[in-house]
Amino acid sequence: SPILSADSRQIYRGMPIGTAAPTADERARVTHYFVDLLDPAEPYSAARYETDALALLTTLFTTHTAVLLTGGSMMYIDAVCQGIDDISTVPTDIRAAVLADYERFGLDALLDELRQTDPVHFA
């Protein structure tokens, strides 16, 4: 049976030791998905995993009676099994501006801004 990794770090290339990713030999014996796939600089989320994994499962179940979902992040497993709230994608310019503020002013400044702007969600 094919294996879908639900580990939020195994999806990135170049981190086999820190993530306990399956070895090349293990991957040659059994097909693994979502392992060693993306550049570490590419953002990836549980919501994207849900979409990608469900699409892949639909395809895999046409030729397999069982597929194994394994891994470290219960958030990814929950996303597949229970769904995840639909959250809008943050535009890249806003993401870049917040990252620039973080690099310039630090996390405490961003937390203070959030506390003042939206105390309910801050709590």
- 36 token code pair: 């060693």
Claim to verify: residue 72 and residue 115 sit in the same structural domain: no
DSSP assigned state of 69: E
Q: Residue 46 maps to which CATH number?
A: 3.40.50.300
Claim to verify: residue 65 and residue 96 sit in the same structural domain: no
- 60 token code pair: 């895999």
pLDDT at 20: 86
pLDDT tens-digit series, residues 44-102:
999 999 999 999 999 999 999 999 999 877 899 999 999 988 777 889 999 999 999 99
Question: What band does 110 get if pLDDT is binned at 50, 70 and 90?
Answer: very high
Domain that holds residue 115: 92-122
Q: How many domains does the chain have?
A: 2
| Of 108, 19, 14, residue with least CA distance to 5 | 19
Claim to verify: residue 103 and residue 43 sit in the same structural domain: no
Report how far residue 6's alpha carbon sits from residue 73's, in angstroms, rounded to the nearest whole number: 6
Across 1-123, the runs of DSSP E, i.e. the strands, are 3-5, 32-33, 68-70
- 75 token code pair: 């958030």
Claim to verify: residue 7 and residue 55 sit in the same structural domain: yes
pLDDT tens-digit series, residues 97-107:
999 999 999 99
Claim to verify: residue 76 and residue 99 sit in the same structural domain: no
Question: What band does 3 get if pLDDT is binned at 50, 70 and 90?
Answer: very high
Asked whether residue 72 is assigned to any structural domain, the reply reads yes
Claim to verify: residue 76 and residue 110 sit in the same structural domain: no
Claim to verify: residue 46 and residue 69 sit in the same structural domain: yes
- Residue 108, pLDDT > 90, answer yes
Claim to verify: residue 27 and residue 58 sit in the same structural domain: yes
